[in-house]
Amino acid sequence: MIDASVIVGISATIVSFVVGYTIAKIPRAGDTSSTSSNNDSSPNEASDKVFADMGGEYKMVLVVRNDLKMGKGKIAAQCGHAAVGAFENGIRNTPAAIRKWQNMGQAKIALKVESELAMMEIYRSAKANKLNCCLIRDAGRTQIEPNTKTVLAIGPAPNVAVDSVTGHLKLL
């Protein structure tokens, strides 16, 4: 004879599986994998589709202001903030690009610019090209004045798209 607690445990496991499977099949906001025929694409979905057609390798570029003379640790921290911010933005706005970037090794390249003006020109160009971006402003607790723009992350996106706005920059 089977113990009642075993039957309850098995039943609970089956019910949990069915409920979890059912919930997983419900389309979520921003999920472009559904088979809906709705053609109301947001600008972010449109850029994700454009990137999907580009193929090739994907990367993230971290554009660091060289004129601030930040220490190595400060640069590392600011680049970390930018990379995490760009990843979080990308999860919401260009999830297909994020997945491709993750599957290709998550390449990150650090480049330098010599002024805030140069960084902002690149930022505007990246935004105009519908590239995922994250601009970091320092809190001002250590080496840098509060609200100073320190690092710009661009991507993850196809190398070709990122290079179209950062290809002229030198490695940090």
Identify whether the C-beta of residue 169 lies closer than 8 Å to the C-beta of residue 126.
no
| Domain CATH for 74 | 3.40.1490.10
Map the chain to HEC letters: CCCHHHHHHHHHHHHHHHHHHHHHHCCCCCCCCCCCCCCCCCHHHHHHHHHHHHCCCEEEEEEEECCCCCCHHHHHHHHHHHHHHHHHHHHHHCHHHHHHHHHCCCCEEEEEECCHHHHHHHHHHHHHCCCCEEEEECCCCCCCCCCCEEEEEEEEEEHHHHHHHHCCCEEC
Distance of CA 160 to the CA centre of its chain: 17
Q: Is the pLDDT of residue 164 over 70?
A: yes
22 found inside a domain: no
Q: Is residue 39 part of a domain?
A: no
66 and 114 Cβ atoms separated by less than 8 Å = yes
For residue 32, being part of any structural domain is answered with no
Q: Which residues contact 157 (CB under 8 A, 6 or more apart)?
A: 51, 58, 59, 60, 94, 97, 101, 131, 132
What is the per-residue pLDDT for 38?
A: 32
Q: Is 139 part of a structural domain of the chain?
A: yes
pLDDT tens, position by position, 35-70? 333 333 344 555 555 555 556 899 999 999 999 999
Domain annotation covers residue 116: yes
End-to-end CA distance of the chain: 72
Domain count, the chain: 1
What is the residue range of 73's domain?
A: 48-171
pLDDT category at 144 given cuts 50, 70, 90 is very high
- pLDDT digit string, tens, across residues 69-118: 999 999 999 999 999 999 999 999 999 999 999 999 999 999 999 999 99
Q: What is the pLDDT of residue 52?
A: 52
Q: Does residue 54 belong to any structural domain of this protein?
A: yes
Tell me, yes or no, whether 27 lies in a domain. Answer: no
List residues bridging with 62 in a β-sheet: 110, 153
Q: What is the average pLDDT value for the chain, to the nearest integer?
A: 81
User: How many whole angstroms from its chain centre is CA 52?
Assistant: 15
Is residue 66 in a domain?
yes
What pLDDT does 14 receive?
A: 59
CB atoms within 10 A of CB 10: 11
Lowest mean pLDDT among 21-25, 51-55, 168-172: 21-25
